[in-house]
Chains A and B, each alone.
Chain A
Amino acid sequence: NAGVTQTPKFQVLKTGQSMTLQCAQDMNHEYMSWYRQDPGMGLRLIHYSVGAGITDQGEVPNGYNVSRSTTEDFPLRLLSAAPSQTSVYFCASSYSGGEETQYFGPGTRLLVL
């Protein structure tokens, strides 16, 4: 099992550029989620999905889009990057939401200039 994988590991963008952060899991987990980690603020939920075709907003969804066409993949799209989106992004998955343990990917470090 590869677990939760994220690509790329590091990315530099210019303001206004778009990009997609990839997340995949091979554990047949229904629940997947995206977080951003900023110094002194912990992790904040951006979007989550309870299964293929179902997504919902988290705490800080503005500026980000998601879709879930398969159980395995949950990409995060930045349509027009802003410096405020400079952060470390983590994807996580679990069998379901609620009481289930989440497994985290290694993270993507994003710098927006």
Chain B
Amino acid sequence: AQSVAQPEDQVNVAEGNPLTVKCTYSVSGNPYLFWYVQYPNRGLQFLLKYITGDNLVKGSYGFEAEFNKSQTSFHLKKPSALVSDSALYFCAVNNFNKFYFGSGTKLNVKP
């Protein structure tokens, strides 16, 4: 069965500190990997994706993610968090045209 795991329901970080939101996946083949962000009462917005090539992917708003094939992980990172980064973050994989999402991680950035 295909699955995406986000082991932390919530991540708390102080403004200016680095942040990491974790994601691991279990799918067959070589999936495409995505991160999306959701602000309250809004749809999801694309942050970044890994298709192939360099394992470190840079995306919107200063976010980046590191693909690790051996650990089947795709952790989201940012060197310096902002209060405005507070939102719900989803990891997703696309495998043969079907998307599978993690359960989401709520990021709280405190001033």
Complex interface bits, A95-113 against B, C-beta within 8 A gives 1, otherwise 0: 0011101111111000000
Complex contact B44–A98 (CB within 8 A): no
Complex contact B101–A44 (CB within 8 A): yes
Give the docked Cα–Cα distance between A50 and B96 (Å).
11
Shortest CB-to-CB span from A2 to chain B, Å, is 13
Which residues of the other chain, A, contact B45 by a CB distance below 8 angstroms?
Answer: 104
**B49's contact among A31, A101, A107, by CB below 8 Å, is which?**
A101
Q: List B residues 50-83 near A (Cβ within 8 Å).
A: 51
Shortest CB-to-CB span from B91 to chain A, Å, is 9
Would A106 and B46 be within 8 Å (CB), given that A41-B103, A59-B98, A97-B97 are in contact?
A: no
Give me the interface of B with A, judged by CB distance under 8 Å: 4, 6, 9, 32, 34, 36, 41-46, 49, 51, 90, 92, 94, 97-104
Give me the interface of A with B, judged by CB distance under 8 Å: 4, 31, 33, 35, 40-45, 48, 50, 56, 58-59, 90, 92, 97-99, 101-107
